Amino acid sequence: MPVTYYVLSAERRQLQEEAVKRAVTSIQGPVGFYERWPGEEPCLTITEEARAAWRPFCKLVGEDEARNRMCLQDYEHRAAACTRPQVNLCWAGVHNAACPVKDERGGSVTLIGGAFRLREEKADAEGRLRQFLKDQNIPPEQVAAFHDAWLEIPEVSEAIVRNQILRELELAGRGYLYSLRQLSQFRYSADLVIHDLVVLLQSLISSIEVLEIELKRTFDIGKKWEARFEEIMQTCERYYAYLEARLGSLGEPEYAYQPLAQLIYECVDLYRAKAEKRGIDIRVDLQKVEYDDGQVRVPHLRVARAYLNRALHNAIDNAVKYSFDGTVHQSRWIEIVGQFETRQGMPGYTIRISNLGIGIDEDELDRVFERGYQGRRRLGEFRPGFGMGLTFIKECVEMHGGTVSISSQPQRRTSWLTTLSIWLPIRGPTDRAEG
Amino acid sequence: MSKIAWIEDDYRAISSLVRSLELDGHNILCYRTCQDVEEHLEEICRCDAVILDIILPPATDDLYQGVSVLRKLREECKYNGPVIVCSVVRNPTVLHALREMGISDILHKPVRPSRLHDAVTEALAGSTPETSQ
């Protein structure tokens, strides 16, 4: 991929999966994703979604490992050779549509799939099938099963292929390239914000240390002063760490067992003062678990620390932002409750963050996780945001193999108890989710 | 006395860092934009080391201009000296692209003068540029 597109490999995979999912759903058939960029090895990706859409005939062919390899090679070869939208016939007699989409930076993406029988080329396809059965020495008792499975493949006309299937493949490819560009631009824009915010911080930190050096040389200041300078610089660096947690690029996720309690308390500490100014108390109650060695503590979870850190920042920031202010007569609180919970046989930990505030309408509870979506109640008030916080939380949690949900219950006439629930498996994501 | 080219768009951010290197005895030449770099390529290539920011004006379709600048220095000008990247950018895809072209070190802003001093000393001592495998 050219250096213009600065997306992480996990993000790229996600965009590929989204493009394939769109195509598979639209054309009701499997779709392979072939990508070619200058300076990179071309690559054919078959996602889980695509595999699930394989025709029974293709699954039958692929049952044999050698034939499965041949299928993939054949698929890749046809995708690589495709220079314009076309229909081609696989080695086993199944038609596929292929549509390449070029990128302005020299790369191209070809979505190839459908797995159908083209009405106008039935004879050719049948001939290819017969050749395949002969070349592969399919035993006579299995030939009928192959033939019957082949006949079950949907038959479509050239008009349908041209007007629907190829069109959908093209749209999915264009959508992918557009998303790459947009995400890359977004990453750059986020870096620009950090870049501007850091200018003064950099100036401050370097000025402080240079001052310390000059004072040491001129006046030979003692360790007491060195310690004070060090404390000031560390305060500046902590502020930078906060900025980075909210805005910076997180890099590739690196999973390791992290003390969940520490992550939560560090995050809460950063928001406590802001909440207290508004009369809001933040309460934390995390269930401890007894371990075989006799230790009783909040579990350590296998997580990508930077990602979970940001998700927690977003969650607590939202809770503070959308809470009503506390008053002398009416106290307000945000409650963070942690609980050990096994789901589908997997040990995990649930974190529930609740606040009393403007709430969310019931018909919006599913939508608030959508990128850019902002609840209608929030739009009527001045509370800054871009509609990205919950989206990130959902993506982060799902990346870890967890689940997230939100509820909002009316408490009194004008206040709602909103609870964000995050469940994370103790052992972290499975291989598939980790990618 | 070593001559070091510093390619950075905002002098406010680095003035104390420049001062700290000058106190160490280095001569620092500053360049703000890609156009400055273009106009002074020969001068930059005669420097003993380069310190490079990644986000530089003007913004173009190439986004992270520092990557283009390094490519120009390495491929067109055949500059073989040490290059230290000093930037807020932590995007691993961007950093990978830079490593591919050979860099001595990556310093993430905000950086302390003492850290910069160590990186520059090591780079000038002749350590070979860091490249990705």
pLDDT score at B132: 44
**Which of chain A's residues have a Cβ under 8 Å away from the Cβ of B112?**
205-206, 209, 233
> How many Å from the N-terminal Cα to the C-terminal Cα in chain A?
19
Structure tokens at A247: 């805005």
Mean per-residue pLDDT, A195-212: 87
Mean per-residue pLDDT, B76-82: 93
Structure tokens at A91: 């080695």
pLDDT score at A434: 39
pLDDT score at A431: 57
Report the alpha-carbon distance of residue A133 to residue A139 in Å, rounded: 9
Q: CA-nearest residue of chain A to B14?
A: A203
Summary mean pLDDT of chain A: 88
Mean per-residue pLDDT, B37-57: 93
pLDDT score at A362: 86
CA distances from B47 to B5, B6, B30 (A): 6, 10, 12
Q: What is the DSSP letter of A299?
A: P
Adjacent-strand bridge partners of A5: none
Q: Do A206 and B112 touch (CB under 8 A)?
A: yes
E strands of A31-182, at which residues? 31-36, 43-45, 86-89, 95-102, 108-118, 155-156
Q: Do A206 and B90 touch (CB under 8 A)?
A: no
Rg (CA), chain A: 28
**What one-character-per-residue DSSP string does A373-399 give?**
---HHHHTS-----S-HHHHHHHHHHH
Q: Is B126 on the interface with A (CB under 8 A)?
A: no
CA distances from B110 to A9, A43, A115, A194, A380 (A): 27, 39, 55, 11, 38
| Element holding A283 (H helix, E strand) | strand A280-286
Order of all β-strands in the sheet with B105-108: B27-31, B3-7, B49-52, B83-87, B105-108
Report the alpha-carbon distance of residue B90 to residue A193 in Å, rounded: 13
Q: Do B91 and A192 touch (CB under 8 A)?
A: no
Adjacent-strand bridge partners of A116: A95
Percent of chain A with pLDDT over 90: 54
Give φ, ψ of A265 to 5 degrees: -65, -35
Q: Is B97 on the interface with A (CB under 8 A)?
A: yes
More confident residue, A362 or A246: A362
Which pLDDT band holds residue A2 (cuts at 50, 70, 90)? Answer: low
Report the alpha-carbon distance of residue B96 to residue A159 in Å, rounded: 46
pLDDT tens for B105-130 read 999 888 999 999 999 999 999 754 55
Structure tokens at A339: 């609980």
pLDDT score at B57: 80
Report the alpha-carbon distance of residue A179 to residue A185 in Å, rounded: 10
**Which of chain B's residues have a Cβ under 8 Å away from the Cβ of A248?**
88, 90
Rounded (5°) CA angle B118-B122-B128: 150
pLDDT tens for A67-91 read 999 999 999 999 999 999 999 999 9
CB A9 within 8 A of CB A95: no
With a cut of 80, say whether residue A386 has pLDDT above it.
Answer: no
Q: Which ipTM was obtained for this model? A: 0.84
Rounded (5°) CA angle A162-A168-A171: 120
**Which of chain B's residues have a Cβ under 8 Å away from the Cβ of A8?**
91-93
Give φ, ψ of A388 to 5 degrees: -115, -20
pLDDT tens for A216-268 read 888 888 888 888 998 888 888 877 877 776 766 677 788 999 999 999 998 89
CB B69 within 8 A of CB B94: no
pLDDT score at A432: 43
Range A363-376 burial, b when 16+ CB lie within 10 A, else e: ebeeebbeeeebbe
pLDDT score at A380: 53
Where residue B28 falls (left for φ over 0; alpha for ψ -120 to 50; beta otherwise) is beta
pLDDT tens for A98-132 read 999 999 888 999 999 999 999 999 999 999 999 99
pLDDT score at A201: 87
Report the alpha-carbon distance of residue A338 to residue A290 in Å, rounded: 15
pLDDT tens for A146-162 read 999 999 999 999 999 99
pLDDT score at B91: 83
Highest mean predicted confidence (pLDDT) among A15-19, B75-79, B82-86: B82-86
pTM (2 decimals)?
Answer: 0.69
Tokens 């599913």, residue located:
A366
Residue pairs spanning A and B at CB distance below 8 A? 99
Tokens 């629907």, residue located:
A164
Amino acid symbol at A372: G
